[in-house]
Amino acid sequence: METTLPSLESPYVLTPEQIAEYRQKGHILLRGVLSQDEIAAYREVILAGTIRNNQETRPMEERDTYGKAFLQVMNLWVSDEDVKQFVFSKRLAGIAAQLMEVDGVRLYHDQALFKEPGGGHTPWHQDQFYWPLDAPRTTTLWMPLVDIDAVMGSMTFASGSHEKGFVEEGGHISDTSESFFDDYVASNGYALTGGGPMAAGDATFHSGWTMHRAPGNVTDRTREVMTVIYYPDGTLVSEPANGFQFNDLATWLSNKPAGTAADGPLNPVLYP
């Protein structure tokens, strides 16, 4: 049966002050990016797609720190036309373009991140550790599909940490990255921002280099979040710096050679 979903094409125009805040902090919280009717409609299709495609069936006690942090389902848009309308939204990609201060925006990938009841913390990390992109400016949309707060696992950011760029020794999401970045954030005196309540349809955007984490979910409800990663059109593929980037190169960028345009078939232009 064909689903009629709200259009997400209308613009969400940022103020110069909001763009300056993002430039300075490397992250921003935006209220009401989707209306309550819009997020309710898209929650249904994202939730259904996540349940349908989830491969994690182990009990919580059998998982490592990464596995306890969230259920992770990527690139739902490829197999679900309804979710594709969310991922390809010009409203959302337009916000990304404004924050990155670029004219054109491509998709890296989407991912649903569902933190189950009793799910563990998400350790400190930098998203762009995983991405073989020669891009000083990238951004990730992080939108709850349900109302959340700190006890469900809302995000905390180290403001200004994006200016350091790639801190390779921080490593992938793990107990090691939590320990390393905990010390790193403290020793650099970064202000911690976030952790407060967010309504369904609110959104944060953060740079690929911004250090961030989330606490565990101590409630009996699932923290349902949808994310979309954007990068500027014209970005080049970089030489992979670690095994995770080699994997991403094959998965998302069709093994394109370093120095060529990051414009594989899974990376369409979303804006304008």
pLDDT string in tens for the chain (272-residue length)? 356 899 999 999 999 999 999 999 999 999 999 999 999 999 999 999 999 987 767 776 777 776 666 688 999 999 999 999 999 999 999 999 999 999 999 999 999 999 988 888 999 999 999 999 999 999 999 999 999 988 999 999 999 999 999 998 999 999 999 999 999 999 999 999 988 999 999 999 999 999 999 999 999 999 999 999 999 999 999 999 999 999 999 999 999 999 999 999 999 999 99
CA–CA dist 81, 71 (Å, integer): 21
Q: What is the 3-class SS of 4-27, one letter each residue?
A: CCCCCCCCCCCCHHHHHHHHHHCE
The token pair at 215 is: 């606490």
Report the pLDDT value the prediction gives residue 67, as an integer from 0 to 100: 67
Question: DSSP 3-state assignment of 133?
Answer: strand
Question: What's the CATH code of the domain at 85?
Answer: 2.60.120.620
9 located within any domain: no
Range of the domain at 218: 16-254
37 located within any domain: yes
Is residue 244 within 8 A of residue 148, CB to CB? The reply is no
187 located within any domain: yes
269 located within any domain: no
Alpha-carbon distances of 64 from 117, 187, 238, rounded to whole Å: 16, 28, 30
Q: What is the pTM of this model?
A: 0.94
161 located within any domain: yes
Report the pLDDT value the prediction gives residue 195, as an integer from 0 to 100: 83
Report the pLDDT value the prediction gives residue 1, as an integer from 0 to 100: 39
85 located within any domain: yes
Angle, CA of 248, 249 and 251, to the nearest 5°: 60
261 located within any domain: no
Report the pLDDT value the prediction gives residue 68, as an integer from 0 to 100: 65
CA–CA dist 89, 86 (Å, integer): 5
24 located within any domain: yes
Number of domains in the chain: 1
Angle, CA of 169, 96 and 14, to the nearest 5°: 125
